[in-house]
Amino acid sequence: MQQHLQEHQQRAERIEALLQEVAQFRDHQAREATEELVQLLLDLYGEGLARLLDIARRAQSTGDALVERFAQDELLASLLLLHGLHPLDLETRVRQALGKLQTTLGPRGGTLDLLKIEQARAYLVLNGSHSSCPSSNASLTAKIEQAVHEVAPELEEILIEQNNHHKTTRPVTFVPRQRQKKSMGEAL
């Protein structure tokens, strides 16, 4: 316990030193951007902690059930994911996201299944009858990508096979947003 207190103290001192360093930046724009970034992060974590306390106060449950409720909150789930603390494993999170999407596919008569997750890639198959309209298929693919990315940002790629009446298969590759931004930044 004493070691943890010392580590926390050292981190607090380092944060204070870095904030002092930022305050001395000669570049006004860099100083303001850095200060805004720090404030936004503090706001995000503050809101997350407030939600955590609110959920705990309202809960009739304890232990694992309470942790599960934290994981169901969108903001808390994203913070838990960010730090590798989410109580559900990757496959379970992806399967739950696909289950929620099934209602979107229902009227079209299709199913969406997870085949496997391997080497930071999710392999999905979209079965059944789907619209022959390219924009409709693109919209559905975008919904799938977004839903999976929200619960599994650690995936590097999502591969979707689309099987329709004619038994044709078309793979779709997904690049997570953070990689897209990085690639665009490198291109500039």
Phi-psi region at 63: left, alpha or beta (left = phi > 0; alpha = psi -120 to 50): left
Confidence of residue 117 (pLDDT cuts 50, 70, 90): very high
What distance, in Å, lies between the first and last C-alpha atoms of the chain? 48
SS3 1: coil
Say if CB 148 and CB 98 are below 8 A apart: yes
Say if CB 81 and CB 153 are below 8 A apart: yes
pLDDT above 50 for 110? yes
Q: Which residues pair with 117 in a beta bridge?
A: 122
The pTM of this model reads 0.62
Query: What digits encode the pLDDT tens for the residues 124-148?
Result: 998 875 555 666 677 888 888 888 9
Query: What digits encode the pLDDT tens for the residues 38-65?
Result: 999 988 888 888 888 788 878 877 788 8
